[in-house]
Chain A
């Protein structure tokens, strides 16, 4: 049995710290037991402080309980079915109350657990049963709407002294000899996370009868895998090179760390020149990552690490004394949101690349032009045929489906034959519908032509006003003259642009 389970508190008294929270929870239980219906509880606090333990102790006071956590899929339906049923059935028999525990509610996933928060709100409204929710992150957007409907109880980190005392007790019970400073170091390292302190102690001491400071080394190695956000915080909050180097000791892909630091620079730094300077460092760090990847010379990574950490850290004038909420990069959210769309585009680009002897990238560069070509029905049909695109793939280029081909003069004969098997009046109907369609399309065409004429008039007027276009004309004449001897169009053109710019 894991020590964390073995030494899990058996009653409220044994739970370390958080006296006030415990009292509030006891009052809440009492209220239920005398028939009141107080608001649900929301336990919020960092990991390893006893939230789940408390919830399970509460469960002992009720007849039964049901628990869901992050590993269960929590979409709207599933939540309502399992939890909703539980809360309804409990009230039916009225034989004692069934407690509902929802662990890690801030971990309810945006798309996978569609409507999860909505379902919880519904359960809160209807449910006749006691409900306890647990969350790590007090600032999570996901639980914002829940907070007002709950009694929020903050569970704080456990004091180092309390942790040391508990570790001592465990050592004595397990018959392990110890040096007090070792336990103290362990406790400090855990940063108020009792669970991890016990786990660390178990790693060091299992199967032995004495622990010394040497054993701490095992733990300090493990410490390297620190929360990546601690690294980000270290970089953005500090100007002390040693702290920063320490903070960067994480095992993560450097591109990912860079992305997270980059994301949070403007959340921490407020002055424009700081943001600019920090981004310059980020840009250089990224350039070294690119070089490392291209040349397979990963020696470049060290420069990248220093630039993204120390470089960014020293870009601020002074450290900010404020709480900034750090987030994951919005790029990842955008990527996952747009994935279906991007996959579709890739598929289409591959099909086009196959026919036009181009890579996916070059094929995509032609998309804007293809989009315009696809606006013409006949051409769209032809191109879709040529590239072998199905209806869903055509949507990359036009929102409407391509209408079925109008019957041309040649094909009407064949169609007549087919139609002749049907009753003749239907054929007539079809024909007359066609006529109407033709009429309307003709009219539409006329109006279109008119409107186009209008717009082209407008655009000529516009073009006179536009400097850009005037410039373009200038350049064109320049190229015209120098057609025969230009080897490098670009330099000529740019030269022209520069001079024309300074003419103004």
Chain B
């Protein structure tokens, strides 16, 4: 049982981790010294934060890493109280066969400020026995007291040639052929996200034996949120109610995320501008608005309401 390639080919040691060399070097020094401050990994999705934390745990905790390592997700559906109870129960015990115990807390930026303050206290309480690795997408969403207690590591998007190298290795192990342009188009769509790159690679391999640019395109277009062009057109026609209903269907019933939707709207609008369906100044105006609502969504407002508001901007764009 190997699972999907993202798991099968997840780097197991720090040396295998791709594209974060400067971070890996500093982390290795902690291993040599046998002690570690609290760490914070920040950076976009799929750049190796979790992988690095797991690999680090294995090498710093040694043989008994499983017993001394706790992995938790802050945005876990079980609620923050459970997460904190788990941390308490785990930290109360002394490390067994390892220098200290390690807690990896993922997606800390999804915790409310109150919960973060509570977490801060726990981090202080167990400094003697335990060390924390916190991981988040945006360090700006983490309260200062936590940031000041952590050594902060900023993970960057994985570079194109590094992604290609990794994909080639996987392709070789899986015995699949890749056509030269194919990997490059995967890199384009992955946007520095290794998880997405590997997922596209595996999904493409299910289409044909040899991975081509076309199969990559097919995968990517299948993975996109559907009906976005239709929704935009309805709004441009001035039919707001139908556009809104369709948007709700896609977001509420199909569960497409606000970020995915707004990215797709941006791409469709760009495409429409290039196809000459939208005039330049209208295009610029729309981009201004897309950016504005994207920002509001990331700030933590209700993505659906924000996107509905974005749709109203299209209503006025059609002169007919």
Chain A contacts to B: CB under 8 angstroms? 255, 258-259, 262, 266, 272-273, 275-276, 279-280, 282-283, 286-287, 289-291, 293-296, 330-331, 334-335, 337-338, 341-342, 345-346, 350, 353, 355-362, 364-366, 368-373, 375-376, 379, 382-383, 385-387, 452, 456, 459-460, 463, 467-469, 471-473, 475-476, 479-480, 483-484, 486-490, 493, 497, 500-502, 504
Check B206–A279 contact: CB distance below 8 A. Answer: no
Check B241–A459 contact: CB distance below 8 A. Answer: no
Nearest-Cβ distance from residue A89 to partner chain B, whole angstroms:
46
Check B4–A286 contact: CB distance below 8 A. Answer: no
Q: Mark B205-238, 1 if CB is under 8 A from A, else 0.
A: 0111000111101110011100000000000001
CB-CB under 8 A from B65, the residues of chain A are none
Question: At the interface, yes or no: B302 with Cβ under 8 Å from chain A?
Answer: yes
Check B300–A294 contact: CB distance below 8 A. Answer: yes
Question: At the interface, yes or no: B13 with Cβ under 8 Å from chain A?
Answer: no
Complex: chain B residue closest to A467, CB-CB: B274
CB-CB under 8 A from B54, the residues of chain A are 357
Check B316–A272 contact: CB distance below 8 A. Answer: yes
Question: With the chains together, A70 CA to B43 CA distance in Å?
Answer: 54
Nearest-Cβ distance from residue A55 to partner chain B, whole angstroms:
38
Check B257–A361 contact: CB distance below 8 A. Answer: yes
Complex: chain B residue closest to A259, CB-CB: B305
B219-267 contacts to A, CB under 8 A, are 219, 222-224, 238, 240-241, 244-245, 248-249, 252-253, 255, 257, 260, 267
CB-CB under 8 A from A497, the residues of chain B are 270
- The 8 Å CB contact of B160, one of A330, A331, A368, A486, is A486
Q: List 18 A-B contacts (CB under 8 A).
A: A272-B240, A275-B312, A276-B312, A280-B312, A282-B309, A283-B296, A286-B296, A290-B301, A350-B77, A360-B75, A366-B6, A369-B200, A372-B203, A456-B214, A463-B213, A476-B185, A483-B160, A486-B160
The count of chain B contact residues (Cβ–Cβ below 8 Å) is 87
- The 8 Å CB contact of A386, one of B3, B181, B188, B260, is B3
CB-CB under 8 A from A463, the residues of chain B are 213-214, 217
Check B185–A373 contact: CB distance below 8 A. Answer: no
CB-CB under 8 A from A375, the residues of chain B are 206
CB-CB under 8 A from B275, the residues of chain A are 467
Check B160–A372 contact: CB distance below 8 A. Answer: no
Question: With the chains together, A275 CA to B241 CA distance in Å?
Answer: 11
* Known contacts A373-B4, A382-B2, A386-B3; 11 further A-B pairs (Cβ under 8 A): A331-B252, A359-B76, A368-B203, A372-B203, A372-B206, A372-B223, A476-B188, A479-B184, A488-B157, A501-B273, A504-B276
CB-CB under 8 A from B75, the residues of chain A are 359-361
Nearest-Cβ distance from residue B308 to partner chain A, whole angstroms:
7
Question: With the chains together, A312 CA to B57 CA distance in Å?
Answer: 53
CB-CB under 8 A from A459, the residues of chain B are 214, 217-218
Chain B contacts to A: CB under 8 angstroms? 1-4, 6-7, 45, 50, 54, 71, 73, 75-77, 106-107, 110, 112-114, 156-157, 159-161, 181, 184-185, 187-189, 191-192, 195, 199-200, 202-203, 206-208, 212-215, 217-219, 222-224, 238, 240-241, 244-245, 248-249, 252-253, 255, 257, 260, 267, 270-271, 273-276, 280, 283, 293, 296, 299-302, 304-306, 308-309, 312-313, 315-316
Question: With the chains together, A480 CA to B159 CA distance in Å?
Answer: 10
Question: With the chains together, A286 CA to B301 CA distance in Å?
Answer: 6
Question: With the chains together, A345 CA to B257 CA distance in Å?
Answer: 14
Check B240–A501 contact: CB distance below 8 A. Answer: no
CB-CB under 8 A from B212, the residues of chain A are 456
Nearest-Cβ distance from residue B183 to partner chain A, whole angstroms:
10
A289-B301, A373-B206, A475-B188 as given contacts; A359 in contact with B107, CB under 8 Å: yes
Check A479–B187 contact: CB distance below 8 A. Answer: yes
Check B1–A385 contact: CB distance below 8 A. Answer: yes
CB-CB under 8 A from A358, the residues of chain B are 50, 73, 106
Nearest-Cβ distance from residue A39 to partner chain B, whole angstroms:
36
Question: With the chains together, A489 CA to B162 CA distance in Å?
Answer: 13
Nearest-Cβ distance from residue A382 to partner chain B, whole angstroms:
7
CB-CB under 8 A from B244, the residues of chain A are 266
Check B217–A476 contact: CB distance below 8 A. Answer: no
Complex: chain A residue closest to B191, CB-CB: A489
Check A334–B296 contact: CB distance below 8 A. Answer: no
A331-B304, A353-B73 as given contacts; A476 in contact with B4, CB under 8 Å: no
- The 8 Å CB contact of A489, one of B1, B76, B160, B283, is B160
Check A471–B7 contact: CB distance below 8 A. Answer: no
CB-CB under 8 A from B189, the residues of chain A are 472
Check A472–B188 contact: CB distance below 8 A. Answer: yes
Question: With the chains together, A299 CA to B181 CA distance in Å?
Answer: 55
Check B312–A369 contact: CB distance below 8 A. Answer: no
CB-CB under 8 A from B184, the residues of chain A are 476, 479-480
CB-CB under 8 A from A382, the residues of chain B are 1-3
Closest 9 CB pairs of A and B: A368-B223, A290-B301, A283-B309, A369-B199, A290-B300, A372-B203, A386-B3, A276-B312, A279-B309
CB-CB under 8 A from B6, the residues of chain A are 356, 366
Check A490–B240 contact: CB distance below 8 A. Answer: no
Check B206–A366 contact: CB distance below 8 A. Answer: no
Check B271–A468 contact: CB distance below 8 A. Answer: yes
Question: With the chains together, A373 CA to B205 CA distance in Å?
Answer: 9
- The 8 Å CB contact of B106, one of A273, A346, A359, A489, is A359
CB-CB under 8 A from A337, the residues of chain B are 253
Question: With the chains together, A359 CA to B49 CA distance in Å?
Answer: 13
Check B206–A379 contact: CB distance below 8 A. Answer: yes
Nearest-Cβ distance from residue A174 to partner chain B, whole angstroms:
51
Nearest-Cβ distance from residue A394 to partner chain B, whole angstroms:
14
Check B7–A456 contact: CB distance below 8 A. Answer: no
CB-CB under 8 A from A373, the residues of chain B are 4, 202-203, 206
Check A357–B106 contact: CB distance below 8 A. Answer: yes
Question: With the chains together, A307 CA to B299 CA distance in Å?
Answer: 18
Question: With the chains together, A463 CA to B221 CA distance in Å?
Answer: 12
Question: With the chains together, A341 CA to B255 CA distance in Å?
Answer: 10
Check A369–B203 contact: CB distance below 8 A. Answer: yes
A362-B45, A369-B203 as given contacts; A501 in contact with B107, CB under 8 Å: no
A334-B248, A369-B202, A452-B208 as given contacts; A294 in contact with B222, CB under 8 Å: no
Question: With the chains together, A400 CA to B185 CA distance in Å?
Answer: 31
CB-CB under 8 A from A376, the residues of chain B are 206
Counting chain A CB atoms within 10 Å of each CB, which of B4, B76, B112, B267 scores highest? B4
CB-CB under 8 A from A255, the residues of chain B are 302
Question: With the chains together, A256 CA to B254 CA distance in Å?
Answer: 22
Check A289–B252 contact: CB distance below 8 A. Answer: no
CB-CB under 8 A from A472, the residues of chain B are 185, 188-189
Check A279–B312 contact: CB distance below 8 A. Answer: yes
Question: With the chains together, A294 CA to B192 CA distance in Å?
Answer: 29
CB-CB under 8 A from A353, the residues of chain B are 73
